[in-house]
Amino acid sequence: MMPLLAWRDNTCDPRVCSVKKLERFRMIKVHSKISAIPRNSLILDPTADQALSPADRIAPSLTALDCSWEALNTGIVEGYQRRRALPFLVAANPGHFGRAFMLNSVEALAAALYIMGEKNQAHDILSKFNWGLRFLEVNENPLNEYANAKDSAEIVKIQSYYY
């Protein structure tokens, strides 16, 4: 089981925050300072140059950035070496249902877990949300293909078939 972490900048409503809900279930450790995230953690960063792939399963932990796009644009995670972007997937959360690349933090974590071979853990964290398992249904084909890819280059090639 992959340890889950999150850096949260408190810009979203805590009543609907997926990371806060996972924290209540003790499924994730949330940090308010980016410096508290271990330097060797795999950071899910939509601005990263490299796509996440099954080759990343050696990471000691997985970190979601639960923050605004403005925070990402400041380069706050530039010092982290293991930054990965997720490939093409479609959101199933109520706020962005059906929109490509508009995943919330729990969807991003679940997608990364699934791609890295932790399918049961992905299912477990999504099951805490009434819409959560729908994410796996909506993205079944690409997730399975991504999970069978060998590296980032193959992920990029596969995603080109979806958009």
The domain segmentation of the chain, as residue ranges, is 4-159
* pLDDT in the model for residue 17: 83
* Tokens 């909506």 belong to residue: 138
The pTM of the full predicted model, rounded to 2 decimals, is: 0.94
Mean pLDDT of the chain: 91
Calculate mean pLDDT across residues 83-111: 95
Q: Give the amino acid at 110.
A: A
Per-residue CA distances from 150 to 3, 18, 104, 115 (Å)? 23, 30, 26, 11
Question: Using an 8 Å Cβ cutoff, are 79 and 22 in contact?
Answer: no
